[in-house]
Structure 1
Amino acid sequence: MAIKFILKETLDSIGVTPNRFSTLSQVRSNTIYDMIYNETKRIDVKNLDSIVSTLNRLAKEKGIKKKFSLSDVAIWEDK
C-alpha cells in the first residue's frame, strides 16, 4: 500500500505547467516535481494547503467548475 501523487494529471487538466504552478502556489519547484515523479518522502501540511488552495483559485480564474481537494493531489493505492 502506498500513496501515489496524481498532481501531474491535475495540473494537466487545468492547463498549467509545474513551474508556473510552483510560482503561483509558492511551493518550491523541487517539492512539486518530487510529487509529480512520486519521489516525495514527506510533505508539509502547509504545502498541501497551498497546493489545494492554488488549484481552486486557478480553476475559478479559468472558469472551471470543479472544487479541488486532497484527492486531486494524491491517492491511496493498494500494491
Structure 2
Amino acid sequence: MNSDEIIGHIMNKLPIDHPDRYAHSLPSNYESLLENLYMIFENPSKYGISNRDDVYIDYDEETNDLAIFRKNLA
C-alpha cells in the first residue's frame, strides 16, 4: 500500500458528513495518528502487540475523531 492509499483508507474511516473525509491531503491533526501507527508497526512488541493485524484505525464516537484501536483478544 502506498502513502496515498493509506491516507485514503484512513480518511474513509471518517463519517460521510465529516468535513475532513474529502480533504485532498492529510489534515495536520491526523499526522500524529499516522506517526503513531508507523511506530507501532515498526516495533509492535514494544506496545504488547504480537500480531500487527490486531491494530486498526477507526472513528471514535467518544472523541469524534479517528483513533488507533487494538482488537479485543478474548
- Structure with larger RCO (C-alpha < 8 A, sep 6+): 1
Q: TM-score, normalising length from structure 1?
A: 0.29
Larger Rg: 2
Higher relative strand content: 2
